[in-house]
Amino acid sequence: MAHGGGARQVKLDRESELRIEVGNDAPLKLRLLNGTAEIFGTELPPDFWLTFPPRLKFAVFTWNGATIEMDGSTETDYTADETPNISYVNVHAVLEERRHRAKPLPPDDPNSQGPRVIVVGPTDSGKSTLSKMLLSWAAKKGWKPTFVDLDIGQGAITIPGCIAATPIEMPIDPVEGIPLDIPLVYFYGHTTPSNNVDLYKVLVKELAQVVERQISGNAESRASGMVINTMGWIEGQGYELLLHAIDTFNANVVLVLGQEKLWSMIRNVLKNKPGVDVVKLQKSGGVVSRNAKFRQKSRSHRIREYFYGLANDLSPHSNIANFSDFSVFRIGGGPQAPRSALPIGAEPAADPLRLAPVNINRDLLHTILAVSFAKEPDQIISSNVAGFVFVTDVDIQRKTITYLAPSAGELPSKYLIAGTVTWLET
Ligand code: ADP
């Protein structure tokens, strides 16, 4: 199954796929020799070599048969003729019908809103992959669905620790992923929601409101609807957060991947909510399980990609600033009121939404800070972020901070948000 390299051809029968994990050390080149094929919903251009980075896991699927040529080494590659793709494309067909029904209606008609799909399921059930397929198939038909990514662990839109939304105007590039030019990003600052569940909820609400505003004025976006990807945390508080997301975004199609129990729980909760469909879908046998170490690694790659580009094609800028140039804040944590102000015996509760100024010191070394669009500190929680910087040095004596930013020049704001997202530049 693993392959050491060299050019080779694979013939795929109709409705089958070639599942590939690119080797660890070198990229893999691949092209479509004949027939038609797609990668997670995006059609391959004929006779054009594509280069996939090390460790990428993906599948080349064909509806009608194809011949693929590969050059380079893989960790695994094998063909599979059992995939759930027919059931996925059937979902797409239903969504398509709803978009067509929504399109001609005036904006004040509630049915002018196209399908709002939310994809839920355990970790490694193929949620992000199904989201991409649905978005790419819709974009291919000329729709502009909004992709909302609520997964702070392995974000598909921007770096980990964020929730984000962006319109998808073209099928998603199988190598480059989602274009980063116009995303709407909120910085949560941690890669697990349990760090601050209240903050997560507040940010989901902010994001939903802004997305709502953006699409309400645009008939095409409105009819195209949304695809919302979620976290793999489905137990306890994670489950509550799923229900919160369904409610906050007014999702009307809930796709549950690979878990009967979750499907029946959500169906029971939503059975009194007319107009919400809860659909159970099979998980693909091709979805690769990723352990904690792999996840950590891919988070780190995501951050690297933000600064350096996928193919090392960006040149981030190292800048030096004075401590006084910035105000750094942390959200949540610290006690709300001093113990002396509380009734005897009462414990001070941590206020999850408290904005606490952070003293710049060496604790910030190797952390990722978000650059807020806020004009005043009290707008920080409700503001989206412009981008991120990476702290590479803190000089206490000189009171200067050295940081890496995607480009040279002044940051769009002096308000920075700290969390627990760190990176070891590799
Ligand atoms: P989730 O979002 O539920 O955590 P993903 O959609 O990210 O899961 O899938 C996990 C990994 O499996 C990803 O690296 C993805 O590219 C890969 N993958 C998904 N489906 C297939 C498939 N059919 N063949 C090969 N790899 C796949």
Q: Where are the beta strands (DSSP E) in 53-139?
A: 57-62, 66-71, 74-80, 116-120
Predicted model pTM: 0.94
Q: Do residue 146 and residue 125 come from a single domain?
A: yes
7-12/66-71 β-pairing: antiparallel
Distance 283 CA to ligand 1 centre (A): 10
Q: Do residue 184 and residue 267 come from a single domain?
A: yes
Number of domains in the chain: 3
**Binding site as annotated, residues for ATP:** 17, 57, 124-129
Distance 39 CA to ligand 1 centre (A): 11
Model confidence pLDDT, tens digit, residues 233-275: 999 999 999 999 999 999 999 999 989 999 999 999 999 888 8
Residue 343: what pLDDT?
Answer: 66
Place of tokens 């699409």: 215
Place of tokens 């309400």: 216
Q: Do residue 185 and residue 326 come from a single domain?
A: no
Q: What is the mean pLDDT of the chain?
A: 93
- Low pLDDT (below 50) residues in the chain: 335-336
Any atom of ligand 1 within 6 Å of the Cβ of 132 = no
Closest-CA residue to 168 (of 191, 144, 186):
144
Q: Is 295 helix (H, G, I), strand (E, B) or coil?
A: helix
Q: Do residue 125 and residue 251 come from a single domain?
A: yes
Any atom of ligand 1 within 6 Å of the Cβ of 139 = no
Q: Do residue 328 and residue 274 come from a single domain?
A: no
Please report, for the domain that includes residue 117, its CATH number. 3.40.50.300
Last residue of a domain, one of 82, 97, 113: 82
Residue 56 CA, closest ligand 1 atom number:
14
Q: Do residue 35 and residue 156 come from a single domain?
A: no
Instruction: Give every CB contact of residue 117 below 8 A, 6+ residues apart in sequence.
Output: 95, 134, 225, 226, 227, 228, 251, 253, 254, 255
Q: Do residue 77 and residue 115 come from a single domain?
A: no
Please report, for the domain that includes residue 378, its CATH number. 2.40.30.330
Q: Do residue 78 and residue 125 come from a single domain?
A: no
50-52/42-43 β-pairing: unpaired
Closest residue by Cα to atom 7, ligand 1, is: 128
Model confidence pLDDT, tens digit, residues 291-334: 888 888 889 999 999 999 888 888 999 999 999 999 999 998 65
Distance 356 CA to ligand 1 centre (A): 38
Any atom of ligand 1 within 6 Å of the Cβ of 59 = yes
Q: C-alpha dihedral over 218, 220, 224, 226, to 10 degrees?
A: -20
Q: Do residue 239 and residue 102 come from a single domain?
A: yes
Cα separation, 145 vs 168, whole angstroms: 6
Any atom of ligand 1 within 6 Å of the Cβ of 131 = no
Q: Which domain holds residue 73?
A: 8-82
Q: Is 52 helix (H, G, I), strand (E, B) or coil?
A: strand
Closest-CA residue to 36 (of 20, 19, 17):
17
Residue 312: CB atoms within 10 A of its CB come to 9
Any atom of ligand 1 within 6 Å of the Cβ of 52 = no
Closest-CA residue to 189 (of 9, 368, 397, 40):
368
Closest-CA residue to 242 (of 210, 283, 201):
201
Last residue of a domain, one of 57, 82, 107: 82
Q: Do residue 89 and residue 200 come from a single domain?
A: yes
Any atom of ligand 1 within 6 Å of the Cβ of 57 = yes
Q: Do residue 17 and residue 128 come from a single domain?
A: no
Closest residue by Cα to atom 20, ligand 1, is: 287
